[in-house]
Amino acid sequence: MMDKQTVWLAIIVIGIGTFLLRASFIELGGRFTLPAPVTRALRFLPAAVLSAIILPAILRGAEGGLYFGIGNPRLIAGIVAALVAWKTKSVLMTLAAGMGTLWAMQALI
């Protein structure tokens, strides 16, 4: 078990490292331009990160494993939300449809 000083030192070092990493992008951002392929690739980064966060949560079953069945209310709500997002391009409609479907499915199951 680590003592309090080690834990606090780790928190401070990680905090300083995070600050320096973020500050470097702010400070260096205007000083040079990224190559065109890198800029194009970075446009897809938010969608990729969001997918990596959401997909495991949608596919998680009651027992903690992956569950692809029709009885998974998160999966059904995710599919409905994806369809609504694709058709309407509205964040508010997507949230309303996804959450409404999830709550309805949870009430039925």
Q: Say if residue 32 is exposed, middle or buried (CB neighbours under 10 Å; 0-12, 13-18, 19+).
A: exposed
- 3-state SS class at 60: strand
Q: What is the CA radius of gyration of the chain?
A: 21
pLDDT digits (tens, 9 = 90+) for 31-49: 778 789 988 998 999 989 9
Domain chopping of the chain, boundaries: 1-32, 40-108
Cα(97)–Cα(57) distance, integer angstroms? 17
Residue 9 has pLDDT above 70, yes or no: yes
Number of H-type helices and E-type strands within the chain: 5, 0
Q: Are 66 and 60 contacting, i.e. CB atoms less than 8 angstroms apart?
A: yes
Q: pTM of whole model > 0.75?
A: no
pLDDT greater at residue 25 or residue 4: 4
